[in-house]
Amino acid sequence: MLSLSKPFLHWMVLPTLLVLLAIIGYPVVSTVYLSFFGYNLLDFTPPEYLGLGNFKDMANDRIFWISLKNTLYYTGGTVLVSMLIGTAVALLLENLKGPVWSCVRAFVVSPWAVPFVVVAFLFRFMYMQNGGIVNDILLDLGVITNPVSWLNRADISLGAIIVANIWATTPFFFLLVSSALSGIPDAVLESARVDRAGLWSTIFHIKLPFLRNPLVVGSLLMVISNFNDFAKVWVMTQGGPGYATTTLVVYVYRMAFERFEIGYASALGLIWLLLLLLVSVFYIRLLWNRQND
């Protein structure tokens, strides 16, 4: 083993530690601190200690629960469906070689390079009730008889945003699974062929086990990134109609920067942090269990 001196390595970690402490450590501590206070920036009065008041308010805050539910739908729906489609397309394209198929792969991946804000504007444009291409095509196909106002109906607006989000997220899973598939040793696939394993049993018994860890890590990354996703919802509906598409990010943003209720917003943030930590612990355990097998 290489013997690097400890003091040297300590010094190397220092810059990162200091910066993290300043830009993340301090804000987190102050979030925890502020979550026990009533603090409105517009009041120009010092924070007022409320104890657990903010958290009690939260329990009775209907909008908080709605936004929590919306966040779960938004994240869960997006990650599950994108993972399925991405995996399926990766498996279908796996054995197709040549320049044409490389080109197809590049196209399939391209939505990932579209900025979130652009995704949002683009789908908002396509979803328009009058003159939107989605309605135009569906009307021509006879699927619907009247133009649908996709983003203005409380029952379908969240679904419409999720569809846009799936469009943007699928390439990640496609890339992930493609690269994991290419990492499966040839000998393993060869022995499956010798055993005359069928298509489906090859996929389920040989390939999927190799995909497990990448998918666990990948979906964790996407769960986190979708939990945090602000741009798409904000640009498409601003959380409306009513609160039908208000996710936690949108709610905290409104609380902090439209009503300037910093204390309550901090309490919301804290609960959220705990939620994400819970999800992360769950995921890490999934990975560890695997490694200990």
Partner 1 sequence: MTDRSHHIGGNRSAARRILGKTFQYAFIAIALFWTIAPIYWMLSTSLKTELEATRLDPSLVPENVTLDNYVRLFQGDLPFISFFVNSVITCFLAAIVSVVIAVPAAYALSRRNFRTAEQTGYLVLVVRMFPMIVLLAPLYLVLLNTGLLDTMFGLILGYTTFGLPFAVWMLKGFIDAVPVEIEEAARVDGYRQWEILLKIIVPLIYPGLVTTGIFVLMEAWNNLIYPLTFITSIEKQSLPAALVLTFTGQFKTDWGGMMAASAITTLPLMIAFFAVQRSMVRGLTAGSVTGT
Using CA atoms, how far apart are residues 29 and 185, in angstroms rounded to an integer? 47
Using CA atoms, how far apart are residues 175 and 109, in angstroms rounded to an integer? 7
The contact pattern for partner 1, residues 21-60, with x = CB under 8 A and - = no contact, is --xx-xxx-xx--x--------------------------
Amino acid at 185: P
Q: In angstroms, what is the minimal distance from the CB of 78 to partner 1? A: 15
> Are 157 and 178 in contact, with CB atoms under 8 Å apart?
no
Amino acid at 261: E
Q: In angstroms, what is the minimal distance from the CB of 265 to partner 1? A: 5
Quickly count: other Cβ atoms within 10 Å of residue 233's Cβ: 27
Amino acid at 112: W
By CB under 8 A, which span of 58-66, 74-82, 88-96, 150-158 interacts with partner 1? 88-96
Q: In angstroms, what is the minimal distance from the CB of 154 to partner 1? A: 23
By CB under 8 A, which span of 48-56, 61-69, 73-81, 271-279 interacts with partner 1? 271-279
Q: Is 210 an interacting residue with respect to partner 1 (CB under 8 A)?
A: yes
By CB under 8 A, which span of 62-70, 73-81, 189-197, 268-276 interacts with partner 1? 268-276
Helix (H) or strand (E) holding 13: helix 6-20
Q: In angstroms, what is the minimal distance from the CB of 114 to partner 1? A: 5
Instruction: Enumerate residues 152-191 that contact partner 1 by CB under 8 A.
Output: 167, 170-171, 175-176, 179-180, 182-185
Quickly count: other Cβ atoms within 10 Å of residue 5's Cβ: 8
Q: Is 99 an interacting residue with respect to partner 1 (CB under 8 A)?
A: no
HSE at residue 148, side-chain half, CA atoms within 13 A, is: 20
Q: What are the φ and ψ backbone dihedral angles of 241, each rounded to 5 degrees?
A: -70, 145
Instruction: Enumerate residues 121-150 that contact partner 1 by CB under 8 A.
Output: 121-123, 125-126, 130-133, 136
Q: Is 8 an interacting residue with respect to partner 1 (CB under 8 A)?
A: yes
> Are 104 and 248 in contact, with CB atoms under 8 Å apart?
no
Taking the CA atoms of the chain, what radius of gyration do you get in angstroms? 24
By CB under 8 A, which span of 48-56, 60-68, 73-81, 109-117 interacts with partner 1? 109-117
Q: Which position among 88, 156, 192, 197 is part of the footprint of partner 1 (CB under 8 A)?
A: 88
